[in-house]
Amino acid sequence: MSEPGDTFSIVVTVAPEQRRADLILSGDMDICANPVLTDAVDRVAAVAPHVTVVDLAAISFAGSVLLNFLARVHQALPRDSAVVVCRPPPVTRRILEMAAMEWLAGIRDDTVPSCSACDDDVDRP
Domain boundaries, the chain: 9-113
**Mean pLDDT of the chain, nearest integer:** 87
- DSSP class of 70: H
What backbone phi and psi angles, to 5 degrees, belong to 84? -125, 125
**Is the domain covering 9-113 a CATH 3.60.110.10 domain?**
no
Q: Which amino acid is at 22?
A: D
What's the CA angle centered on 39, arms 47 and 6, to 5 degrees?
Answer: 140
Coil, helix or strand for 27?
Answer: strand
If we measure between CA atoms, which residue out of 119, 89, 79 comes closest to residue 26? 89
Structure confidence by residue, pLDDT tens digits, 45-86: 999 999 999 999 999 999 899 999 999 999 999 999 999 999
Q: Residue 118 has what pLDDT? A: 43
More confident residue, 6 or 24: 24
Residue 16 has pLDDT above 60, yes or no: yes
Residue 123 has pLDDT above 60, yes or no: no
Structure confidence by residue, pLDDT tens digits, 17-36: 889 999 999 999 999 999 99
User: Rounded CA gap, 119 and 37, in Å?
Assistant: 25
Q: Residue 5 has what pLDDT? A: 44
- pTM for the full predicted model: 0.85
